[in-house]
Amino acid sequence: MSPPLHHYLILAAVLFCLGLYGVLAKRNAIVALMSVELMLAGVNLNLVAFDRYLGSRYLGQVFALFTVSVAAAEAAVGLALVIALARRRNSVDLSEFTDLSG
């Protein structure tokens, strides 16, 4: 007996909101990146759960695979930016990078 669909959707929503909190509140750029990955994971879980429960012929799983590859690209570029920042400004504290705020 598998759990009903909304259990999966709530789990995905909890992951998404934890990631949202981290993106808004964390000062370390690496933690902010991890939070973005958590939000993407929540979205992915939604796709897979809908694929299983609405019988969509693997469309959701194919979409989730593309999301994973885009998330991998995003993590690579994001961490490269963090390392470039750490090298140039000797810090990864997001609250110090306010050059563009008017």
Q: What is the DSSP letter of 56?
A: -
Which C-beta is closer to other proteins: that of 88 or that of 102?
Answer: 88
Residue burial 64-97, b: 16+ Cβ < 10 Å; e: rest? beeeeeebeeeeeebeeebeebeeeeeebebeee
Which C-beta is closer to other proteins: that of 78 or that of 102?
Answer: 78
Q: Please report how close the Cβ of residue 22 comes to other proteins at its closest, in angstroms.
A: 5
Q: Please report how close the Cβ of residue 102 comes to other proteins at its closest, in angstroms.
A: 18
Which C-beta is closer to other proteins: that of 60 or that of 102?
Answer: 60
φ, ψ of residue 26 to 5 degrees: the values are: -90, 145
Q: Please report how close the Cβ of residue 96 comes to other proteins at its closest, in angstroms.
A: 8
